[in-house]
Each structure stands twice: as C-alpha cells, then as structure tokens.
Amino acid sequence: MTITSTPVTGEATKTWSGRSMPRKEDGRLVQGQGSFVDDGGMHGQGYAWFVRSPYAHARIVSIDCEPALAMEGVYAVLTGDEAKAMCQAPFFAIAPPPGSLMQEWPLAVDKVRYQGDAVAVVLADSRETARDAAERVVVEYEPLTPVTDTVAAADPAAPLLYDEAGTNVAWHGLFDYGDVDWALENADHVVKLDRLHFHRFTSSPLECNGAVVDFDRGTGVVSVLSNYQMPMFAAMVVGPTIGVPMNKFNFVSKDIGGAFGIKIGFYPQIAALALLSKKAGRPAKWTEFRTEHMLTAGHGNERTFLDVEVPVMADGTILGLKVRAFDDAGAYLHYEPLGAVIWSQVVPGCYKLKHVRVDYTEVVTNKCPVVPNRGYSRMQHLWLVERIVDVVAHELGLDPVEVRKRNYVQPEDYPYETPNGCIYDSGDLPRSLDIALELAHVAEWRERQRELGTGTGRRIGIGIGSTLDSGTNNFGQSRIINPDLPFSGNGEAAFAKLDLFGEINVNLGTTPQGQGHETTAAQVAADILGVTPEDVTVTTGFNQANNSYVGFSGTYASQFAVSGLGAVMGAAQKLRHQIVKLAAFALQAEEDEIELEGGSARVRGDEERAIPFIGLSNMVYTNNAGLPASLLDECDLNARYVYVPPFEVPDTVAKTGNLTLTYASQVHVCVVEVDEETGEVKVVEYAAVDDCGNRINPLVVEGQVHGATGLGIAASLYESLDYDESGQLQEPSFYEYHVGTAMDIPDVACGDIESPSPFTPNGAKGMGEGGGAPLHAVCAALQDALGAGAPVVSESHNHWARVYELLHRDPGAPRGVEVVTRTAEPGAGVESL
Amino acid sequence: MGERGTSHAVTVEVNGEKVSRIVAARQLLVHFLRDTLGLTGTHIGCDTGNCGACSVIVNGKLVKSCMILAPQVDGATIETVEGLADGDSLSPLQESFHEHHALQCGYCTPGMLMSATYLLRQNPDPTDEEIRRGIRGNICRCTGYVNIVKAIRAASREQASGGRPVPAAAGEEV
Amino acid sequence: MLLEQVEYVRPQSLDEALEILANDDGAAPLAGGQSLTNVLKNRVASVDVLVDISRLDDLAGIARTADGGLSIGACVTYDELDRSADVRQTHWLLGEVAAHIEDQQIRNKGTIGGNCCLSDPTNNLPPLLVALDAVMELRSRAGQRSVASADFFKGYFATALEPGELLVSVTVPPMPAGSGAGYTSLAVGADAKAMVRAAARVTLDGGTIADSRLVLARVAHVPVRDTDAEARLNGGDATEESVAAACAGVADGMQPIADVHGSSEYRRQMAKVMARRAVSQAVAAARGSRNGSKAGGN
C-alpha cells in the first residue's frame, strides 16, 4: 500500500508503465495554448444560436422567422418542420415500442417538451447578431400541462408527452434474480424503506458543448469539429437521420474541457447544425453558453426507489433486496433507456446479495433529457444498496463497519459471479475499508463524537461509502432493453507508426478530456518500443481521418486503461514486430536476437550491429528498391490494432450475462460536522481508497479519484437541479447552481490497493467515474450524525434545510423505515443460503 | 466629456504589447481578448461571473474578464495566461501545476493560474486556507482542487526557499 | 455572454455623469459592474447608455469624518474595504464582511455603491449598513441629500434613488462608546449567497444592553430592522440566555420567500438563530471594546 504519491522522477524501474509521470499534455495547457472547440473555426463560418422554448410543455402554433431574416447579417433560420423535411428518419431509438414511438428530430416538431427545447436555429455573421436575430423569431405556443413528477408520470392518467406512444413509460422491465420472496419469508428481519430518492444533478464540465459543422455540398462530406466525447455514436445516430453515410463524416476533436458523460448528449444539435449548414451553404459554428448548457445539455439520471424491502439475518447478513425503481429520462430518450440496464452491472453492489428483484420503470417527463453523467446509472443503484446496508446497520444496532465487512464480496471470492452473471474480477474490500478508516482517523473522530454528544450545537458523523466503478461495458446488454438491437461487445482502436524520419506516432480512437491519454499511451508504447515517453508523439484528440476508430470509440464508461491502452499495446506490439523483422534483415540477424533500445534496433550483445529507427523508415519509405517484396508486404511501419474484450451476448430473457469487464472498487470514509441549529454540514475529514488494478500512471489515477470525490461531495451537499411544478428549472446557471468551490470541497487523503484484473491485457481496470462514493459516504455520515432512532437519510442531496428537517423531525413522525422481525426461531431454514 | 456611442477606440497593453482596436460597447473583455485579439487562452465557463475561467489581471488587479466591458479597460495594462511564461521558460506556478498534476482537462487552468499568480503576489506565503480563499472564484470540475492547492503551496515554498519568484505585476494598480 | 446593443460613455467628472443621468431615462451608472454586467448578459433589463463612473475621483476613497466616522466613496471596492486600515480600525466588521463577499475577482471590482443600489436582497452589505446607522449621500443636478440607510432600500431592486440621482458616498457614523457589531449569514456554500443574514450592533452599559440594532436580511425584500426584538434586548442583560430569549420571537409573523434552499418556515427559524448569533457576537465585540468581533466573519 502506498498513501498519496508524489511524482517519481528518478529511474525507479526500467519500465515507464506504473510510474507517476507528470503529463505530456500540460505544457500547452498551462500556457493557454490548448485547442478547445471555441478556439477553432472554419473558413466562411456563420454563428448559430438556437431559439428555445420558455415552456416546459406546449404545442407550437406558429413560427415567424421573417423579423430575424430581415436583419442585416442573418444568413438563415432553420425551423423544426424544415429540418424534419430535410431528414430521412427520426433519430435512432434504443428502446422497443412504446419508447421507440417517442420520436426525436433535430429540432422540436409540433410540440416542445421541456424548457429549452430548440424550435429553430439562426445563422448569422457574428455571435451577437445570431443572438439578436434569435430573439426576433416569433414563436406562438399553446401551453400544455407539464409532467414533472417522476412517479406520477407513469400514471396512465398523467398528461402525455407523446400522444403517439400512449404512455409516458418508455420502458419497463423486471430484473429478478435468486428468490427474493423466499428470502423475505425466511429472513430474521425485513427492513422496509418507503422511499429513497436520488436527485438530478450534472457534473457540468467547465467547457460547455460546441461544434463547428460544415455540410459540403460539393463532396457531401459533413465535417464536425466538436468536443463530442463519443463521436462515432453521434455519427451512427445522426447519419441515418440526415442521410449521411459514415464515410462522409469527418469528426474531429482536439482538447476537450471536461465531459463526464454529458458530452454524449448533444447529437441533436450536431444534426441541426449540419442541416443549417446545408441550408445556408456555409459552416455553422455553435458555442453553447452556461445557461443554455444547464437548461438543455443533459442532466444526470434522477431515480426514485419505492417499497424497498430488505431481508436480513440476525447476524447482519443481508440476503438481498426488492424495490420498485422509477428513473426519470427527461423529455427525450437521448441515451435512455440504456441506463435501465446499465445499473445491473452492479446488481449486488459490493456485497454478496443473492436475491434481488428490481421492478424498473423508465419514464419521460417535461424536463431536460438525461445523459450519462459520471457514474452513469450504476451510481444511483449503488447509492440505493449503500443506503440499505447503512440503514440496516443502524436499525439493527449493528456496527456499520462490521455489517459491511460481513456482507462484502471477500478477497477469496474473486472472480465472483453476481446473481445476474456479472463477474467481479478482483479486489480486497475489507482491507480497503481498513485503510480508509485509518486515513480518515476514524478512531479519533469517534472519540470526538462521544465527547460532543448531541444537543451541544454540533455533532460529528462518520460515514462509509463502498462502491464500484465498472468499466469496459459489453454493449450486448443493450439487447436486454431491446433484443433487436445490433450491438454487442466493445472495442477500441489505435494506430502506431514509425514516421518518415523514424519518429514514433500513436493515434487513438479516444476523446480524452483530462484523463492524460497522451501520457499513458506514450508510457505504454515506450515500454514496447524501447524508447522514452518523450519519444512517442500521441496525436491530440480524435480525427476520423486517422482511421483509428471503431463503432464504440470515445472516452466514457471507465475503459481507457483497458480498451484504449489494450489497443495501444496491440498496435505498438505489431509495430515492434515489423521493426524487429526489418532490423533482422538489415543487420543480418535472427529476429529473436533483436532488441530495441533508445530508438535503435540492435543485435543483443553486439554494440556494433545496430540501426536507428530512421534507418528502418528509410528502408521502407524512401529507399526501398531491392527490398524483398515479402518484407515490404509485412512491414509498412503502420500498425493498426483493435482491442476487443472477451464478451458473450447476454441472455436477454433471464437478463443475465457478463455486462462489463472490470470492477474497480472504491471505499470512501467521510467525517462531517453538523450544526444542529441550522443543518449546515461541513466535511471535516475525507479519505478515499481506490483499487483499480495495475495503475499505469498513479499520479493520473489519483487525480481521477480527487476529481470524482470533489464532484460527488459537491453533488451531495450543494448541487441539485430542481424543477418547479410548471417545469421551470430553478438552477439554470452557475449563479443559482452552486458549484462546489475550493472552499467547499475538502482535502482528500488517498490510499490505494492494486488488485490486478485477470481479464485485461495489462492487469489494469478502467476507473475515473468513481461510482458516486461521496454521495454514499456523506449520506452515511449524516445518518451517523443523526444517531439512533432518527429518520432515514432518504435523499442523495442534503442541503441545510433538509438536514435541519432530519434533525428536528417530530419524534412521533414517520422515519421512513420499518423493521419487521420474524417471530419464529431466528436463523431457521437458512442453511441453504 | 468622453465620447458616447456604441463603438469605442480602445488602447491597451496586453502582455507587454500595445494594441489599439475599435470595439463595440457591448463587447465583453473576454470576447475582446479571445475573438478580437485571438488570445484564446482565456476561457469562458459560465455566463454569470461565477467560474473564473476568464480571469485576467488588469492594472495589477485580478478580475473576471466576462464581468467587464471592453471599453472599460481603455488605457489599461492586461496580463493573460499567454504572458505568464518567459519565452519557453514556464513560470514557477506553471511548472508546479505540471509537476503536481494540478490540471486535467486544462480548461480552468489559465484562470486558475492567474488567480494563483495574483495570490502569491499579494501573499507570498499563504496558508492552505488562504490558498483556497484565493481560488474561491475559480471553478475546477476535474481535480477536486486537491492538487491545485498542493501546487500553489509548493510554488510558494519554492519561492520562499530562494527559487524563482512569481513575476511582478505589469502596470500600476489603479 | 452576448449583450444587447448598448451605448457606453465615460464622463470625466461627476457633473457630467449627473448631466447624462438626468437627461436620459435609459442611462444606467456602471461602477464595478459585478451585478449589472450579468443583468445585461441575461438581457433581463434594457439599458440605452452605460455611464462608466468607475474612474471618477469624487466617488473614490475612504475618508475619516470629523466625528470619527467613515465617508466611503460609492466606487470603493470590497477589497478596498477589506484592506482599509481606517475601516479595520473603527469598523472592523465592515472590512470583514467585505472580505467574505464571493471571491477575490468580485471583491476587486464590486463596489459598496453597486452593492447598495442594486438592492438585491441577497447582497451582503445592506443589512450591516442599516445596523450601523449608515447614511447614503445622494446627488443629482438638483443638489445633494442624505437618506438614512434604513430608508434607502425600498424593495426588490428598488431604492430611494430618484431618476437622475446617484449614490456618491456612504457615511458610517462612529461606533457608539461601548458598542460592538455582529454579522452572521446562513449561506448555501462558503462565502456564497445567503438564505438569511442578521446584522447587529449593541451598546453595553456594564452588563446591560443599553441600545441595539438588529437587522435581518432575506426574510423580506429589503433589510428589516426588528424593532420588537431590539426593544426586548434594550435594558436586558447581555447574557446568552437573555439574548436568546429576546431573539426567540424574531421574524415571527414574517413570510420569508421560499426557494430550493429552504421553506419559508425554515428561513424564519434560521432568522432567529442568525439574530441570536449576531447579537451575541456584537455583545462579545462590545465587551472586547472592539468595533466588530474577530469572530464575526460572515
């Protein structure tokens, strides 16, 4: 175990992988020389501004663009109807009916379904003129009753967002593993929770969305310079809608100012911009500003859990859980209902729950569409599980540490198969917890907690958050939602080449947004090619012209260390193989005598017989007369490799299968101080222990842990997106949405364990999303501060007023929890568990 | 009386270079820097003056360039992230941010560096709490601020132990 | 971040500024701009011409008045208040409250005049100025007049300023002998917007509170003096129990505006807590014969 590392600069090992190396990306970024989307542009571009609905739900009666078009400098205005007429089909639907009947077009058609829904888009010669003109587009609306409550939306009597679907339920499924009825009948206790609610928030990257799109009418090529984080997904969704084949797209991204999943959601804007460009005959540049982002760019999933029942044995063994889950997709199904299956990557959380039944309903409401948000869909379920474990401990008077340790998947259990067939690869949760408790000085805080007691004005609370960061998902799980979908497996591509003068270049299929891919890819390639990371140039960003992509390319779902670096390793090894072959020919040696070091190939043990990489490049590119054709055939010094993780198609009826390749784990411990008079909460100590297998660059890994922790703490105490009954967002900018600042977020003590994954090429596990651990830990700390007999902390977001209510709730009022204890002799009939 | 109008002549010194432009009265300083002068290192992260990505130093004072109109800075001396390094030689804070992994996506970094530069000019030996107060107006979504605080602390210690100081302010404070 | 078309002018003198403000209903003074710029960005108010008063000497600087009070120019920034030796010497808390307004960038630009004239109920300085019996000095072409701070704030974004009139300075009288001030906020985050604030000034006569000011913010659109609570405090013991008893009825009958951060009832309860804490701070400060408590803060 190491606790908080500092950069290693010396020659600690012969290899570069595994070292804490400051990043190659930093030089340009600290000098303001990064290339973010708004920094760039295309010749002749106009500036786009979307006309957006002030209503959450309304019929579009008419749109008058004339006043805008009459303005000097306005190139074009595109309305929803016009856009639809230019399209071949609505956007591809992941859901089967009725979800597939909830159609979406590039711009709203007939109806608007959330505040901020785009009805038209203006193109003008300046940003200012575009906005001025957008205000002159006159839209007449007929307001309709908005649907804002997630659970009520599913009521057949609720107003409909999509008349043609006949329901607001986009998808419904029963996930039933083990025998939860049996467990509930035979358990010593059944802990029942009325309602738990995971709130809506966004990790809101600091750079908003943006794109410059050119629809070249001469070639039919659609060029997209954007900060989209999953470009080929956008191409696959947008292409069939606007009638553009994949080989006529050219998606490019450079530096991206954070994404966290949110930047998977703006394909409708890209489609609209492409059509606008086509109409206007010039590139369309759109730079989203924060208020537009908060209203429309996508929020994290809000989920309500009802009728939770938890069978527990007297010794604290938790047998499973039963729950009805209602997930709120917002107005359009941008990535949903994929979240309706993605949570099931972590059905039992960190625990050996065997009997689980989740009745899952995905609804649409008149709110901003949800999109993947750091910890996507698993975080919500992991929070539920962690709340359950915590409440069980409190209600049964058991030690929250012991209950967790008793129920954790144990180190000797790996590889551990969950009730739905997922394979947890490796880990040591009990030890992670011990380290976290020590790092957070829990023993001292317990002492302090006892001293303070309650009623003294301040209370201490200590909470644990155990979570999983499942990475490299199997897209076959989408078939559990819709068996007709043509998706399964996963993959990522990389290119490695020796350039004309012997330079090493690596192209990725990923779209890094701060994860340091240029550095870690260089570390990995350097080890294979016998050079230093400085010698490896990793192309910044994504460029479709590099041909270094597959359908699932991008940066999302905690997978780079596995799929991205798996591809880099494969490509570098292929290139190495070619280099060795050429060198063996040039040096008249056997291939197994060749070693690569310092940018040269040489014969082992013979200093004299060596050839620098430039010499090999010369042989292939510029001086190849007389080289055997067989050698030229095999050695073009351009190596493309696609890493494909080993997956099977899941069983779509039983809803089982291995849904993701790796499971990094995190155990966080949080200590809070609560002001009894006001409900104010201050995080006074925080520790995070991360286990993501072999770490390629511990400095980068730790940075991800810090970041996920910061966002989670901010979400638990400060950040929430709330709609009023008329469907108006109450926090539409950073003025209202209090983003956690350096004064709000505490320092984090980090510890780590490295449990290598047996399933990946490098023993690494994807990480970075963090599984929402701080939300779990802060809630648990609040529960601890509330003490015995207190109400259940039932919300994932706990601002001061909510904490105050929990502290001061009438002792006779419902606590949101009930424990039913079986009267028969405890433990009877559970041997077969 | 000063000229009244929707456009104004503005002369400023930016990172040591004097520039004159006609600007629209409604143009924000950040758009002047980015769109008119092409200094795209100064970023935009919000539209309410809360994120600090656009922080620059005007006449020695740290400000958010999205909260000032371009004509307001006529005659001012402006420092942006592009002016922090001395040629190819990074400033001590830039070095420290790199060494301590105090940036991930790098989008908040220019503003963060300007705030840190200002802080160390005002207070060469800040406590962690003072550092956190000093960057309170700069939002970072990637780092949880952990390594940023660490990097600023390290730069201040480096300076205290005889290392290179943070460059002095350009222009007078007015 | 794209504003509507607007004119800008930077008058060379206060008289020029007053001239423009008098002649144009659509003219708005621009000082630090830390609120006005946001208003313009969001296009929620239309302004014809922005009158940049930020460089006018007449509106700058902090001066000691003959009676030992402070005369603070309308364009004095929060940062200047924080760093002013004069302010810290006699009105320590005013500097301290200014030091906790949002962040360094805003403190470097935002002005005391702007903080008051916007009359945004979330602003930090108005309740404190009312508690300190500050006087707002207003000038127009017609001349100058003084308005007590308690009468200056008229409503949500509304003040006693008449068209064509400009706040030129704020006069803060000296702290009465034996007095101290306190200020507390229940903020949504550190140095962030507050749900409730309370500012207090008490003057002690031995162990008794001889006189008091208790001002609440965000329970109504404007800072409100709770004269009932003041009456309960005055003449009472300067003990925690007595202060708590006097503050128990604070905000009763008021209907603070609810929002996502808390209900009206919660804010009412919090007003009592903030009031008690502010008064207790003020008592402690008075005991320490400080004009504002070190523990004050925000």
Q: Which DSSP string corresponds to B63-84? A: EEGGGSBGGGGTT-EEE-GGGT
| N-term to C-term CA, chain C | 31
User: Is A768 part of the contact surface with chain B (CB cutoff 8 Å)?
Assistant: no
Domains observed in chain A: 37-144+203-296 (3.90.1170.50), 173-202+298-476+650-809 (3.30.365.10), 491-643 (3.30.365.10)
Burial per residue of A762-784, b for 16 or more beta-carbon CB atoms within 10 angstroms, e otherwise: bbbbbbbbbbbbbbbbbbbbbbb
Domains observed in chain B: 7-82 (3.10.20.30), 92-160 (1.10.150.120)
Closest CA to C247 of C230, C265, C234: C230
pLDDT at position B172 is 52
- Looking at chain C from residue 36 to 75, which residues have their Cβ under 8 Å from any Cβ of chain B? 37-38, 40-42, 49-50, 52, 54
CATH number belonging to the domain at C57-172, selected among 3.40.50.1370, 1.10.287.130, 1.10.1200.30, 3.30.465.10: 3.30.465.10
User: What average pLDDT does range A524-547 have in this prediction?
Assistant: 96
pLDDT tens-digit readout, C34-93: 999 999 999 988 899 999 999 999 999 999 999 999 999 999 999 999 999 999 999 999
pLDDT tens-digit readout, B61-96: 999 999 999 999 999 999 999 999 999 899 999 999
- pLDDT class of A553 with cuts at 50, 70, 90: very high
Q: What percent of chain A has pLDDT over 70?
A: 97
Average pLDDT over chain A reads: 95
Question: Is 90 exceeded by the pLDDT of residue A10?
Answer: no
Contacts of A128 in chain C (CB under 8 A): 2-3
- Taking the CA of residue C246 and the nearest CA in chain A, the distance in Å comes to 17
Contacts of B110 in chain A (CB under 8 A): 32
Tokens representing A568 are 């880099």
- pLDDT class of A825 with cuts at 50, 70, 90: low
Task: Give the Cα separation of C82 and C35 in Å (integer).
Answer: 19
Tokens representing A431 are 């030890």
Tokens representing A781 are 């700390």
pLDDT at position C171 is 98
Contacts of C30 in chain B (CB under 8 A): 69, 72
User: What average pLDDT does range B121-150 have in this prediction?
Assistant: 98
CB contact under 8 A, B106 and A34: yes
pLDDT at position B174 is 41
> For helices C264-287 and C240-247, what crossing angle results, to 10°?
150
Question: Is 90 exceeded by the pLDDT of residue A761?
Answer: yes
Q: What's domain C179-287's architecture?
A: 2-Layer Sandwich (3.30)
pLDDT at position A8 is 37
User: What average pLDDT does range A556-569 have in this prediction?
Assistant: 93
Tokens representing A703 are 């940075």
- Torsion sign (Cα): A226, A232, A237, A238: positive
Contacts of C273 in chain A (CB under 8 A): 677-678
Of C38, C42, C261, the CB nearest to A801: C261
Question: Is 50 exceeded by the pLDDT of residue A783?
Answer: yes
- pLDDT class of A124 with cuts at 50, 70, 90: very high
Task: Give the Cα separation of A463 and A150 in Å (integer).
Answer: 29
Pick the more confident residue, A582 or C291.
Answer: A582
Beta bridge partners of A48: A123
pLDDT at position A100 is 97
Chains A and C form CB pairs within 8 A to the count of: 55
SS3 A89: coil
Contacts of A128 in chain B (CB under 8 A): 24, 26
Residues of B with CB under 8 A from a CB of C: 1-6, 8, 24-28, 30-31, 44, 47-49, 52, 55, 61-64, 66-69, 71-72, 74, 115, 118-119, 133-134, 136-138
Question: Is 90 exceeded by the pLDDT of residue A414?
Answer: yes
Pick the more confident residue, A462 or C288.
Answer: A462
pLDDT at position B167 is 75
Name subunits touching A (3+ CB pairs < 8 A).
Answer: B, C
Contacts of C298 in chain B (CB under 8 A): none
Task: Give the Cα separation of C179 and C286 in Å (integer).
Answer: 5
- Taking the CA of residue B135 and the nearest CA in chain A, the distance in Å comes to 7
Contacts of B67 in chain C (CB under 8 A): 33-34, 37-38, 105-106, 109
Chain CA centroid to CA B42, Å: 8
- pLDDT class of A823 with cuts at 50, 70, 90: confident
Residues of A with CB under 8 A from a CB of C: 127-128, 131-132, 135, 289, 291, 677-678, 680, 718, 720, 722, 730-731, 735-736, 738, 740-741, 743-744, 799-801, 804-805
Closest CA to C90 of C189, C6, C156, C181: C181
Contacts of C108 in chain B (CB under 8 A): 61-63
CB contact under 8 A, A735 and B48: yes
User: What average pLDDT does range A585-613 have in this prediction?
Assistant: 96
Residue of B145, B147, B148, B150 to mutate for A, most A C-beta atoms under 10 A: B145
Contacts of C38 in chain B (CB under 8 A): 48-49, 67
Residue with tokens 């100012």: A257
Of C5, C190, C273, the CB nearest to A743: C190
Name subunits touching C (3+ CB pairs < 8 A).
Answer: A, B
In terms of Cβ atoms closer than 10 Å to its own Cβ (0-12, 13-18, 19+), residue C5 is exposed
CB contact under 8 A, C105 and B25: no
CB contact under 8 A, A730 and C260: yes
pLDDT tens-digit readout, A162-179: 999 999 999 999 999 999
pLDDT at position A607 is 86
Contacts of A738 in chain C (CB under 8 A): 188-189, 192-193
Residue of C102, C191, C261 to mutate for A, most A C-beta atoms under 10 A: C261
- pLDDT class of A299 with cuts at 50, 70, 90: very high
Residue of C104, C118, C122, C298 to mutate for B, most B C-beta atoms under 10 A: C104
- Please state the φ and ψ torsions of residue A566, each to the nearest 5 degrees: -60, -40
Q: Where are the domains of chain C?
A: 7-52, 57-172, 179-287
User: What average pLDDT does range A805-830 have in this prediction?
Assistant: 83
Q: Which residues of chain C have a pLDDT value below 70?
A: 289-298
Question: Is 90 exceeded by the pLDDT of residue A23?
Answer: yes
pLDDT tens-digit readout, A195-242: 999 999 999 999 999 999 999 999 999 999 999 999 999 999 999 999
The continuous run of DSSP H or E covering A536 comes out as: strand A536-538
pLDDT at position C155 is 94
pLDDT tens-digit readout, A712-726: 999 999 999 999 999
- Taking the CA of residue B97 and the nearest CA in chain A, the distance in Å comes to 8
Residue of B27, B28, B40, B46 to mutate for A, most A C-beta atoms under 10 A: B46
User: What average pLDDT does range A256-272 have in this prediction?
Assistant: 97
pLDDT at position A2 is 32
CB contact under 8 A, A31 and B85: yes
- pLDDT class of B152 with cuts at 50, 70, 90: very high
pLDDT tens-digit readout, A641-691: 999 999 999 999 999 999 999 999 999 999 999 999 999 999 999 999 999
B147 to each of A7, A23, A749, B153, how far by Cα in Å?
12, 14, 11, 10
Beta bridge partners of C49: C7, C27
pLDDT tens-digit readout, A348-398: 999 999 999 999 999 999 999 999 999 999 999 999 999 999 999 999 999
- Looking at chain A from residue 499 to 518, which residues have their Cβ under 8 Å from any Cβ of chain B? 513-516
Q: What's domain C7-52's architecture?
A: 2-Layer Sandwich (3.30)
